[in-house]
Structure 1
Amino acid sequence: MKKISYCFLSVVITLLAFTATAQDHQYSQFFNSPVYLNPALNGQFEGDLRMNMIYRNQWSTLPGALTYITASIDYNIPKFGGGVGLMFTRSNEGTAYYLRNNLAGIYSYSVGSDDFVLSFGLQAGIGNRTIDRGKLVFGDQIDPRMGYIPGSQSSADLGQLNNKFYFDAGAGINLVVGNLMAGGALQHINRPDQSFTGATAKLPMRATGHLSYRFDLNKYDNYDEDEKSFVIPSVVMYKQAASTSVSAGMQYKRRSVNAGLWYRSGGQTGPSAFVVSFIFDLFINKSGGEKLRFGLSHDAPSSKLNYSNTSGSTEGSLGYETTLPSRSATPKFQGSRRCYDFY
């Protein structure tokens, strides 16, 4: 019975992996992977150079890995209020080692004044996906009494192609006005064909919208910005093909500590979840604009795949910003608040 249960869960994870071919993964700590959220956030930070890395382990107790990692580096060019960047994303889904990799270059540019900043971002790169067909389990490999038979061969036609490269493009826009930030992005604008078999399989576009507002809890106190406390409610909306999701919640930000509570709806295709996040900023050289950020969050599913069966999902993130000694250019928008104030 245990073997049959294990086999059933393995098949479920494999099916989830194939279902996910039409969906991109989402990070609960969206604010700690800003370039993945929206290419218009590229180059939008205080220092000169920023590096971010985030890792997600989803439903860790189920058989078959569901892990995701994104690493990015972007360079702030003050002269035009934008920057250039590079982002790498890798996902591993299911017992058949379904891997997706994407390497993209990003360019962003900003217009505005000391009252508002409007940023635009363009993203272009190469995507790749592979699968180990030998790890797939078919019905003729399952015995009704014993379950999956190790080493058995299926009569199913597995085909030959297991590796696919394709061009991928995206774009985004972001607006900051006072204490309000709103933005949106489209990924897979060219809808690349990611088929293994030769039959057309278009990757659906992913639309993202996000909105944040910053409440200053010490508005009338004569404190430095770093000494104040803030409450920052945010909403992030995703739509890709038939899959929709909304994350809503808020962060409490006080000096170098940031705590958040969120609820993410799963729509019709996935489980909803409650999310708790903690972010710590370690200022290595405050006067030089150098800092290290560490983030940790945990999702607890609230429907369908429940917590007792999945143990939830956990994310860890690292971010590093620094100001280069050779910096000499004056920022294009000196009086404006930028997106980094919201996380």
Structure 2
Amino acid sequence: MMITCLFLLQARAQDHIYSQFFNEPLYLNPSLTGQFEGDIRMNLIYRNQWSGLGENLNYMSASADINIPSFGGGVGLIFNRSSEGTAYLVKNNIAATYSYSVGNDDFVTSFGVQAGMTNRNIDWNKLIFADQIDPRLGYIPGSISVAENPNLSSKYFFDAAAGINMVYRSFMIGASVYHINKPNESFSGAEAKLPMRITTNASYRIPLSYNSYGYGNDDDGPYLIPSVVYYRQDQYHSVSAGLQFKYRGVNTGLWYRTAGQNTPDAIVLSVIFDLFGGSRSGEKLRLGLSHDATTSKLNYTNTSGTTEASIGYQKFFRNSDNYEKFNGLRCYHFY
């Protein structure tokens, strides 16, 4: 499969989305910065999309954030990288995030902002043009196209985002906007603005057992957590809806995702393991794995689906006094 210059330079470029959106919270919404039980949290997620096509569609995000109650929220840093196609269209982004929270034991609202720099580059020599293809024999090895490549193969631009997240007892809802400034990411003289990515998410936590006070047990569960996430970027939109079953240190999920005009995209199965949870140090190691079974016209036979792997770690610092200050109401209860 070949990628043409026109396709790579089109203005309607789209961001990748993660099936395990809950395992890279800073990519989902900057207001989730510092929203966890501990002092420091680190997350890493890798996505290998449609491996059967052999087109090098790989995505990775790594983040670290700190919970600072005296600061009113948290600060963090996130690095995103994507590599797409035979021409290795690579995008690297690094951004700082900040969130501020207000509320009490029943209600918390968090506001977040994100700002960073993005580098986009491409290897023009990897592209194949029509004059390098023989109608009968296909690609002609060693042939040189008369097409002129743009002068630029690398582009830097500023990128900004903002978000809000609200938790009320057993209900959570949030919204975020990325690429607020609509940066121009074109390699040529023609303008190609990156459209804003708008994301909304909602989750509801249903306890399946109750303690002696009539409340669900946050540590042990079990819980059912239905969720829905909506993405929109220019003319593209996607909805992911599903249900998680959370019990002690195990979280399994089943999701159905649509794309375009509500056309089928994938069925996603995820499994998450939380290790070391419940200790006073707040130490927790999270291991996640998910697989997308393609249901679009590309079909699973051609794509071999999409696989994601994630790892997360969080804990309190030694002699930290945040453990006593934490009020227990945070978004992480919903995943």
CA RMSD of aligned residues (A): 2.0
Partner letter of residue 309 of structure 2? G
Report the secondary structure of 1:64's partner residue. coil
Q: Which moved more, 1:320-329 or 1:171-180?
A: 320-329
Cα pair 2:179 2:196 within 8 Å, conserved? yes
TM-score for both structures, normalised by structure 1: 0.92
Query: C-alpha distance in 2, partners of 1:21/1:67?
Result: 19
The match for 2:284 among 288, 291, 297 is: 291
Q: Which residue number corresponds to residue 76 of structure 1?
A: 67
The one-character-per-residue Cα deviations of 1:152-171 (angstroms, maximum 9, x if unpaired) are: 11111112211000000000
Query: C-alpha distance in 2, partners of 1:58/1:280?
Result: 23
The match for 1:61 among 52, 57, 67 is: 52
In structure 2, runs of 5+ residues without a counterpart are none
The number of equivalent residue pairs is 333
Cα pair 2:46 2:60 within 8 Å, conserved? yes
Q: Which moved more, 1:132-141 or 1:74-83?
A: 74-83
Query: Where in structure 2 are the equivalents of 1:269-288 lying within 5 Å?
Result: 272-283=265-276, 286-288=279-281
The verdict on how the C-alpha distance between 1:243 and 1:184 changes in structure 2, with shifts beyond 3 A counting, is same
Q: Which residue number corresponds to residue 253 of structure 1?
A: 246
The match for 1:237 among 230, 233, 237 is: 230
Cα pair 2:289 2:310 within 8 Å, conserved? yes
Aligned-pair CA distance for 1:328: 2.5
Cα pair 1:79 1:329 within 8 Å, conserved? no
TM-score for both structures, normalised by structure 2: 0.94
The verdict on how the C-alpha distance between 1:29 and 1:329 changes in structure 2, with shifts beyond 3 A counting, is closer
Aligned-pair CA distance for 1:225: 3.1
Q: Which moved more, 1:145-154 or 1:33-42?
A: 145-154
Q: Which residue number corresponds to residue 6 of structure 1?
A: none
Q: Which residue number corresponds to residue 340 of structure 1?
A: 332
Q: Which residue number corresponds to residue 4 of structure 1?
A: none
Query: Where in structure 2 are the equivalents of 1:1-343 lying within 5 Å?
Result: 9-11=1-3, 22-219=13-210, 224-268=217-261, 272-283=265-276, 286-329=279-322, 334=327, 337-343=329-335
In structure 1, runs of 5+ residues without a counterpart are 1-8
Query: C-alpha distance in 2, partners of 1:269/1:17?
Result: 25
The one-character-per-residue Cα deviations of 1:159-206 (angstroms, maximum 9, x if unpaired) are: 221100000000000000000000000000011111111221111000
Cα pair 2:12 2:195 within 8 Å, conserved? no
Query: C-alpha distance in 2, partners of 1:21/1:94?
Result: 16
Query: C-alpha distance in 2, partners of 1:136/1:96?
Result: 6
What is the aligned-residue identity percentage? 59
Report the secondary structure of 1:182's partner residue. strand
Query: C-alpha distance in 2, partners of 1:330/1:254?
Result: 23
Report the secondary structure of 1:272's partner residue. strand
The verdict on how the C-alpha distance between 1:197 and 1:136 changes in structure 2, with shifts beyond 3 A counting, is same
